[in-house]
Amino acid sequence: YDDLVAPVRNGLTVDGKLYAVPFYAESSFTLYRKDLFDAAGLKMPEQPTYDQITEFADKLTDKSKEQYGLCLRGKPGWGENMAFVGTLVNTFGGQWFDMDWKPQINSDAWKKAIGWYVDTMKKDGPPGISSNGFNENQTLFASGHCAMWIDATSAAGRVYDPKQSKVADKVAFAKAPVAVTPNGSAWGWAWSLAIPASTKKADAAKSFVKWATSKAYV
């Protein structure tokens, strides 16, 4: 219990009781090519702003070399581009609904966030953005085509692995960018296992959960 990261543990706990056991968790961050930044005389701050991301992307895009300033998910779906878009809208000050449950997707914050997303990808993103999801962008980054990539922390394992990444020794990380507020600027997910109270196989389920979330397996 104590070896679980506190935000993950707290997200699965109600009134001091853990209701599910996590086997995986991730947040989002900014991956970038430190060699390209150094060559361009740029310095990535610990937590960049979206204005800075725009500036960096503009300076680092060289389409003649198939080098793109920024890669982002464009493939539609909640598990694809909407994972990023949700955090983008959050940090631009937007929300899905107001306190009276009135939709807010036509608000100025939404327009600014989506405008930034579309404009930046047109200027500095790779071709086929609408077909690029996590896996496609991971391949683009690992093959040296992205100067920056804002996505899941789980990407670190592959882009740091010289067997899978051409830029393994050139990668650095920063926090997910912010715009007008840090609230919700990065996502936090946990994949977990829980046993329903109605189960007739409680002992077998407990044994499986114990094994599937053990340090030896995970």
CATH (domain of 166)? 3.40.190.10
CA dist., res. 107 & res. 121, Å (int):
21
36, 57 contact by CB (below 8 A)? no
Q: pLDDT tier at 126 (50, 70, 90 boundaries)?
A: very high
Average pLDDT over residues 44-52: 98
Q: Kindly report, residue by residue over 161-181, the tens digit of the pLDDT.
A: 999 999 999 999 999 999 999
One domain for residues 55 and 14: no
Q: pLDDT tier at 122 (50, 70, 90 boundaries)?
A: very high
Count: domains in the chain: 2
pLDDT mean across residues, the chain: 96
One domain for residues 122 and 165: yes
CA dist., res. 50 & res. 112, Å (int):
11
pLDDT on residue 147? 99
Domain that holds residue 118: 27-188
| pLDDT beyond 80 at 2 | no
pLDDT on residue 5? 86
pLDDT on residue 50? 99
One domain for residues 10 and 83: no
DSSP letters for 186-212 = S-EEEEEE---TT-S-HHHHHHHHHHH
| pLDDT beyond 90 at 38 | yes
One domain for residues 2 and 56: no
pLDDT on residue 155? 96
One domain for residues 3 and 105: no
Q: In terms of C-beta distances under 8 Å and separation of at least 24 residues, what long-range contacts does 133-138 make, across chains too?
A: 133/73, 133/74, 133/75, 133/77, 133/80, 133/81, 134/73, 134/80, 136/75, 137/71, 137/72, 137/73
Instruction: Specify the DSSP element, H or E, that contains 98.
Output: none
One domain for residues 137 and 202: no
One domain for residues 9 and 92: no
One domain for residues 9 and 41: no
One domain for residues 184 and 205: no
Average pLDDT over residues 117-139: 97
The amino acid that residue 154 corresponds to is S
pLDDT on residue 218? 73
One domain for residues 111 and 208: no
pLDDT on residue 33? 99
One domain for residues 148 and 216: no
One domain for residues 6 and 63: no
| pLDDT beyond 80 at 107 | yes
